[in-house]
Amino acid sequence: MAESLTKLAFLCCFCLSTLLFSQASDSILPTKSLPDGKFIVSSNRTFEMGFFSPDGSKNSFFGIWYKIISTGTVVWVANRDSPLNDTSGALTLTQDGNLIVLNTANGNVLWSSRGNYTSTIQNPVAQLLESGNLVIRDANDENSENYLWQSFDHPSDTALPGMKIGKNLVTGLDRVLRSWKTSDDPSTGNYSFLLDSHGFPQLFLMGSGSVERFRYGPWNGETFSGSSRGKKNLIFAVRFVFNWKEIYYTYHLINPSVFTRLVVNQTGDLQRLSWNPRTQAWTTLVYRPADICDSYGICHGYGICNNSNNPACSCLDKFKPQNEEDWASAVWSGGCVRRTPLNCTNDGFIRYSGVKLPDTRNSWYNQSMNLEECKKMCMKSCSCVAYANIDIRGEGSGCLLWFEDLMDIKNLGESGQDIYIRMASSELGSSGRKAKIIRVCLTLLAVILLLGLFLTLYKWKKQQKRHMEDTQRQQELTREGNYEIITSTLLDL
Ligand SMILES: *[C@@H]1O[C@H](CO)[C@@H](O)[C@H](O)[C@H]1NC(C)=O
Ligand SMILES: *[C@@H]1O[C@H](CO)[C@@H](O)[C@H](O)[C@H]1NC(C)=O
Ligand SMILES: *[C@@H]1O[C@H](CO)[C@@H](O)[C@H](O)[C@H]1NC(C)=O
Ligand SMILES: *[C@@H]1O[C@H](CO)[C@@H](O)[C@H](O)[C@H]1NC(C)=O
Ligand SMILES: *[C@@H]1O[C@H](CO)[C@@H](O)[C@H](O)[C@H]1NC(C)=O
Ligand SMILES: *[C@@H]1O[C@H](CO)[C@@H](O)[C@H](O)[C@H]1NC(C)=O
Ligand SMILES: *[C@@H]1O[C@H](CO)[C@@H](O)[C@H](O)[C@H]1NC(C)=O
Ligand SMILES: *[C@@H]1O[C@H](CO)[C@@H](O)[C@H](O)[C@H]1NC(C)=O
């Protein structure tokens, strides 16, 4: 009798423990801790988390890595700047919903999610999702809006699909990618990838001491102004969200069975990698900076960079090197200056086509103005040096104004945009009266002759363009009140 009772009790215990285990295999509950050497795997086995030591390192870190593709590629590290030097680490969820990494040998807390959730949480649970996101939530609430904390909001060096890079303007949360120091040391390195919201928002790759390495350029409705348009990809779609609540960059997979990640690597490059199941290795799809013209501000003020020229820098038309001698020996510092100074009241504008728009950190913008209003706005202020459309789709819309020397312009040819730069009236064309009259007559004649041809051509082209837009660029635009969500599948980061 006693024997069978014991047996029954044992069986019950066994059942209960397997039940508990199978129910929460991707989760951790309060009072349970995850020691070094034990792991938690996401529901479909895509990601795994636990303690790891990078190759060649004696230190131990808590992190998340790919499980399904077995290279142990780490995508997130909790205690990156406070490693353990032995195997006494453990991850614990506190009763009030705080996730901590502690040294069990001495009780020191090395890292915490720093949650202060006492007022809201009843049954906290920490769960590793299939997306690679480690979240703290209420056990009965799976709504992602109500997560108390998530690792996606505190990235290491990697942006996974669905992760945001940028700012929540309401809470002040800023999600920045930061490189590892070296391949065997995940502590915070010198390079970062972030969204700068001064002026019109832009993405920057930064080096040590907040030196700009690469600037993506403002989002132009299709892509970032610095991207090469035209190349399309079938792996991921980029999205830029810009509204009163938040500004961020994100991407999602078009084909969910392909693995891709965006990394700021230890040597300071931004890399988009994709997993090749045949070779069992990561391949680089795109990287930046990709050429000399990607180096931020290489040609300085009013200089323009063309990668196929040698030397790459030249002055914009109607501008001259500030220091001819330096410029002749390929020293670009000082940049370019106007041949003719501005007058303010009598100035006009010259259009420069096919460029990556200059740095917009000191720009002013209005997304509902048209180009004509934009020009008038710029004319009103003597310190306004240039204007351009924000959105290049269709006939173009929005207004960007620049008030400082134009920096970091790249010649992109077909992929580039138009910018209108303020110019002294004497630079706008010859001023001789006779020449003017002759020119007007000739132009008139030419216009009349060409008008018919042009109209037919325009109609045809517009049809073609619309067709191209529909079929080639799987692009969507959704407007919900203040929300603007744009998706682009052009091949860039
Ligand atoms: C897990 O895999 C199954 C089968 O492939 C799929 O139906 C399910 O949607 C996946 N779940 C997640 C969270 O990815
Ligand atoms: C490990 O770190 C502790 C302090 O956290 C230190 O006292 C100890 O000497 C270190 N051990 C080794 C082997 O470096
Ligand atoms: C936690 O929240 C309480 C109540 O809102 C507050 O008084 C306390 O200062 C907070 N603690 C921390 C560490 O933020
Ligand atoms: C980071 O930058 C600092 C200062 O420029 C430099 O001394 C250090 O070597 C750099 N670290 C790495 C890992 O490149
Ligand atoms: C960083 O990315 C660049 C560009 O893809 C690559 O050449 C370099 O080897 C990478 N560095 C490391 C440490 O992987
Ligand atoms: C601008 O040009 C006008 C007419 O040529 C002249 O009267 C005015 O003084 C000039 N203003 C400046 C600031 O040079
Ligand atoms: C932007 O331009 C529109 C149209 O000119 C105007 O109605 C609106 O007030 C402007 N917004 C700002 C913030 O200047
Ligand atoms: C760069 O310069 C070369 C040679 O001058 C020219 O053929 C090419 O069109 C320029 N590139 C762009 C993108 O304009």
- Determine whether the shortest distance from the Cβ of 130 to ligand 1 is under 6 A: yes
Residues 347, 255 share a domain: no
Segment 42-58 shows an average pLDDT of: 94
234 band by pLDDT with thresholds 50, 70 and 90: confident
Asked if residue 122 and residue 23 are part of one domain, the reply reads yes
In a domain, 308, yes or no: no
Structure tokens at 488: 């682009």
Write down the pLDDT at residue 11. 40
Torsion of CA 337, 341, 346, 348, to 10 degrees: -10
DSSP assignments along 50-111, one per residue: EEE--TT---BEEEEEESSSTT--EEEESSTTS-BSSS-EEEEE-TTS-EEEEETTT--EEE
Residue 471 DSSP SS3: helix
Decide which of 290, 322, 354 is a domain's last residue: 290
Average pLDDT on 181-195 reads: 96
Domain boundary among 261, 290, 319: 290
71 plus 138 within the same structural domain: yes
Indicate whether 200 and 261 sit together in one domain. yes
25 and 139 inside one domain: yes
* 247/166 Cα distance (integer angstroms): 6
Within its chain, how far is the Cα of 158 from the centroid?
11
pLDDT per position as a tens digit, 307-348: 999 899 999 999 999 999 999 998 998 999 999 999 999 999
> What is the rounded CA–CA span in Å between residue 447 and residue 426?
25
Shared domain for 203 and 161, answered yes or no, is yes
pLDDT, residue 414, reads 86
Q: Are residues 190 and 212 in the same domain?
A: yes
CATH number at residue 164: 2.90.10.10
Residue with CA nearest ligand 1 atom 10? 44
Q: What is the pTM of this model?
A: 0.83
| DSSP-assigned beta bridge partners for residue 476 | 487
Domain termination residue (choose one: 109, 126, 151): 151
In single-letter form, the type of residue at position 246 comes to E
Q: How far apart are CA 376 and CA 397, in angstroms?
A: 15
Query: Which of 42, 43, 44, 253 for a ligand 1 pocket mutation test, highest count of atoms within 8 Å of Cβ?
Result: 44
Residue 44 neighbours by CB distance under 10 Å: 11
Q: Are residues 138 and 168 both part of a single domain? A: no
Question: CA dist 159 to 5, 46, 215, 218, 223, Å?
Answer: 54, 16, 18, 20, 18
Give domain status of residue 322, yes or no. Answer: no
**Exposed/middle/buried for 95, CB within 10 Å: 0-12, 13-18, 19+?**
exposed
268 & 161 share domain: yes
174 within domain boundaries = yes
| Ligand 8 lining (C-beta closer than 6 Å) | 306, 308-309, 354, 411-413
28-37, 181-190, 381-390: lowest mean pLDDT where? 28-37
The answer, yes or no, to whether any atom of ligand 1 lies below 6 A from the CB of 44, is yes
In a domain, 328, yes or no: no
Q: Is the CB of 45 under 6 A from ligand 1?
A: no
Shared-domain flag, residues 23 and 146? yes
Question: Which pLDDT does position 137 carry in this prediction?
Answer: 93
Report the 3 state secondary structure along 295-358: CCCCCCCCEEECCCCCCCEEECCCEEECCHHHHHCCCCCCCEEECCCCCCCCCEEEEEEEEECC
**CB 202 within 8 Å of CB 216:** yes
Residues 289-303, mean pLDDT to the nearest whole number: 95
Decide: helix, strand or coil at residue 246: strand
- How many structural domains does the chain have? 4
Residue nearest to atom 7 of ligand 1 (CA): 44
- From the CB of residue 493, how many other CB atoms can be counted at a distance below 10 Å? 22
How high is the pLDDT of residue 429?
A: 73
Q: Which domain covers residue 83, as residue numbers?
A: 19-151
Res. 433 pLDDT band, cuts 50 70 90: very low
**Is 79 found in the same domain as 50?**
yes
If asked whether residues 132 and 185 sit together in one domain, one would say no
